[in-house]
Amino acid sequence: MYRQTEIISDLSKTPPSEGLEGADMIINIGPQHPATHGVLHLVITLNGETIKKVEPHLGYIHRSIEKMCESLSYRQFIYATSRMDYLSSHINNHGCALCVEKGLQIEIPARAQVIRVLMDELTRIASHTLWWGAMAMDVGALTPFFLAFREREMINDIMEETCGARLTMNYMVPGGVMFDLHPNFQKKVKEFITHFKNKIDEYDELVTDNVIFRNRTENVGVISKEDAISYGMSGPSARASGVQCDIRKLYPYEIYNQLQFEEIIETGCDSFARYLVRMKEMRQSLSIVEQLIDNIPDGEFQAKTKAVLKLPKGEFYSRVETARGEFGVYIVSEGGTTPYRIKFRSPGFSNLSSLDHIARGSKIGDLVAIMGTLDFVIPDIDR
Amino acid sequence: MNGEELKIKLAELLPDITIEEGGEWLNVLIAPSSWLSFSNQLRNTQGLDLDYLFCLTCVDWKTHLTMVYHLTSTIHRHSIVIKSNLDRNKPEIETVSHTWRTAEFHEREVYELFGVNFLNHPDLRLLILPDGWEGKNPMRKDYEDPINIIKL
C-alpha cells in the first residue's frame, strides 16, 4: 500500500491552533544527543506527543570525501572511504577496490577473494553486535551494550593482528588484500565462532523475547514495501519490509554465489522486524565464516598490478552489501591517474530520507526505537 | 528484459532519445524538458517498472553539467542509466521527487553542491552546507577555497 506523505515545506503557513492546547512545539534533537549516535540534527515538530514532522539537518561531519577523492590516485582514494561508514570499513574498501578492478579488468587470486569475504562477514557481525547493544540501550536496557562490546572486542583483536588497525582497516587494495593473514587468524576465528554461537542465543534470551522490548518495538515505525522501494531503502531496513535487495544474492561478487546462505526477509515492516532481520543475519554471517575458515586456498594474496593505476576513459559502477545496505561507487574516468568524479551511494543517506515518512504520526518516545532500528552511522550519511 | 528489448521499448515511449551502449547498462540521453513525463512513464509502464532510484548525481564537465540517474526495477531486475545535459550557467531540470520519493533528498544535495535548480521541488533548501552559505557550489570544478581546501 502506498501512503502519500504530505510535504510541509513551510510550517509558518499552516494555520495556528487555538489556544495553548493544540499548539505545535518545535524540538531539537542533536547534534549532540546520545540517541542519534553521532552528529545528526533533527528538528521535530510536535503536537502534544505526536510527531508532525521530522526534518534532518546534515553536514556536521561533512568532509566532502567525494571532492577530496578527485585529487587522489586510485590507490589513495580507498583510504578515505574507511572514514565514511567506520563500522563496516572493510566493506567500503571492498566496494572501491571492486570498482577499480572492474575498470582495469584485473582478475584477483582465489585466496584474496576468500580473505575478503571472511573479513566482510566478520565486519558485518561486529557492526550488528554494536548495533544490537546500542539499540537496546536506546530503548532502556543497559546490559546488552556491555555484552555486545565483549564480542566485538574479539573481532577487533582478530582484525588488529591481520590489518594493523581496529577501526579504519584500509586492508583491501586493488588486486587483492594488502598483507597475508596472520598465522593466528584461523585459530582465533574458530575460538570466536564457538564463543559467539552461545552468546547469540543469550542475546535472544535477553532481549528478543523481552516483553518490554517487544512493546517498545512492535508496530512502531511501520513502512510498507512500496514505500521502502520508493524511498530507496536498502539493507536490513528494507528487507524487514519484504524488499528483496541483498546485493550478495542479486548481483553476486567474489565467491558469494558459491556459498550457502539465506537472504533474510521479514514482512513485519516495523521496528521489531528490522531487529529480527539483523539478528538472523548475524547467524548467516557466522555460517559463512564457518564454511570458509577451513577452506582458505593457498596462493597469492594480491594480483600483480602496475605501480600507477590508470583507469580507461568511461564510467564504472560497482556495489556491495554493507552492514547497512547497498553501497555503490560510481567513478567517472577521463583516462588519467585520478578520478574525474566519484560518487558514493551511501546506504544511510537513502535510508535517512524515509525517516520523516516513517516517524510521522508516532509518539516522540518511539522515535528513538525507529532511529535505533534504522541503524544510522552519521559519517556515512554526511560523507 | 534484456538490453535489446529495453531499447525497443524505450524507443517506443519517446522517439527523440539517444541510446548509448558499451557500459554495463544502457545509457539513455534525454532532453531536460521531456524528463518529467518520461520519468513517469519509466516508473509506471508495464514491463519497465523502474521503481528503484538507487543513485542520483551530477557531473561537472566544465562546458555543461550532466545529471545522472541510475534506475532499476525490483520486479524485473533490469537497470538503466538516464542522463541529461544541462546548461552550466542556468541549470534547470524538473524534479522527480514525486515519482521516486528518495530523490527529494538527493536533489537537495545536488542543488547545493552543483547549483542545479530543480523545478517544482517541494522543499529545495540547503541540506549539508551551513545555513546562510553564499557563493559558489563546492563540487563544481572551478570552485576555489584557499582556506578550507588543501591542494594535493
Instruction: Please tell me which of A215-219, B135-139, B142-146 the model is most confident about, judged by mean pLDDT.
Output: A215-219
pLDDT at A10 over 60: no
Nearest-by-Cβ selection for A67 from B106, B122, B139:
B139
What number is the average pLDDT over the span A206-214? 87
Question: Which of B24, B28, B49, B55 to mutate: most A Cβ within 10 Å?
Answer: B55
- Do residues A65 and A80 lie in contact, with contact meaning Cβ atoms separated by under 8 Å? yes
Chain mean pLDDT for chain A? 86
SS3 B31: coil
Greatest distance between any 2 Cα atoms in chain A: 76
The H-or-E segment that residue B28 falls in is: strand B26-30
Nine cell digits for residue A367: 522515535
Chain mean pLDDT for chain B? 83
Q: Note whether A232 contacts B: Cβ–Cβ < 8 A.
A: yes
- Do residues A354 and A120 lie in contact, with contact meaning Cβ atoms separated by under 8 Å? no
Burial of A156 (0-12, 13-18, 19+ CB in 10 A): middle
- Do residues A133 and A153 lie in contact, with contact meaning Cβ atoms separated by under 8 Å? no
Chain B partners within 8 Å of A352 (Cβ): 105
DSSP-derived pairing of the beta strands B117-119 and A50-57: unpaired
Confidence band of A1 (pLDDT split at 50, 70, 90): very low
**C-alpha dist (Å) from residue B84 to A77, A239, A324, B80:** 28, 32, 30, 13
Question: Which of B27, B54, B136 to mutate: most A Cβ within 10 Å?
Answer: B54
Give pLDDT tens digits for A123-180. Answer: 999 999 999 998 888 888 888 889 989 889 999 999 898 888 888 888 888 888 888 8
Confidence at residue A51, expressed as pLDDT on a 0 to 100 scale:
87
Question: What's the half-sphere exposure (Cβ side, CA atoms, 13 Å) at A130?
Answer: 20
Confidence at residue A128, expressed as pLDDT on a 0 to 100 scale:
92
| Range(s) of chain A covered by CATH 1.10.645.10 | 65-382
> Cis ω on the peptide bond leading into residue A31 (within 30° of 0)?
yes
DSSP-derived pairing of the beta strands A24-29 and A176-177: unpaired
The DSSP-derived string for A204-244 is: IIIIIT-HHHHHHHTTSS---HHHHHHTT--THHHHTTT--
E-strand spans in chain A? 24-29, 41-47, 50-57, 172-173, 176-177, 314-321, 326-333, 341-345
The CATH homologous superfamily to which domain A65-382 belongs is Cytochrome-c3 Hydrogenase, chain B (1.10.645.10)
Rounded-to-integer distance, Cα A227 and Cα B11, Å: 29
**C-alpha dist (Å) from residue A11 to A7, A24, A35, A44, B26:** 10, 10, 25, 11, 42
What number is the average pLDDT over the span B68-74? 89
Contacts of A136 (CB under 8 A, 6+ apart): A143, A144, A145, A207, A213
Distance from CA of B82 to the nearest CA of A (A): 13
Burial of B27 (0-12, 13-18, 19+ CB in 10 A): middle
Strands, sheet with B52-60, edge to edge from the N-terminal-most edge strand: B18-20, B26-30, B79-87, B64-72, B52-60
Give pLDDT tens digits for A27-49. Answer: 888 787 777 777 888 888 888 88
Task: Bin A242: left if φ > 0, else alpha if -120 < ψ < 50, else beta.
Answer: left
Chain B partners within 8 Å of A350 (Cβ): 54, 102, 105-106
What number is the average pLDDT over the span B32-43? 83
A contact residues 51-110, partner B, Cβ 8 Å cutoff: 57-59, 62, 64, 66-67, 71-72
Chain A partners within 8 Å of B150 (Cβ): none
Burial of B61 (0-12, 13-18, 19+ CB in 10 A): middle
Distance from CA of B72 to the nearest CA of A (A): 10
* Closest residue in chain A to residue B26, using alpha carbons only: A315
Question: Which of B74, B124, B151 to mutate: most A Cβ within 10 Å?
Answer: B74
B86 DSSP β-pair partners? B65
What number is the average pLDDT over the span A355-361? 87
Confidence at residue B115, expressed as pLDDT on a 0 to 100 scale:
86
Contacts of B151 (CB under 8 A, 6+ apart): A71
Rounded-to-integer distance, Cα B53 and Cα A12, Å: 32
Nearest to A136 by CA among A192, A74, A210: A210
B3-90 belongs to CATH 3.30.460.80: yes
- Do residues A108 and A176 lie in contact, with contact meaning Cβ atoms separated by under 8 Å? yes
* Contact across the interface for B138 and A317, Cβ inside 8 Å: no
Give pLDDT tens digits for A234-278. Answer: 989 999 988 888 888 888 888 888 888 888 888 888 889 999 999
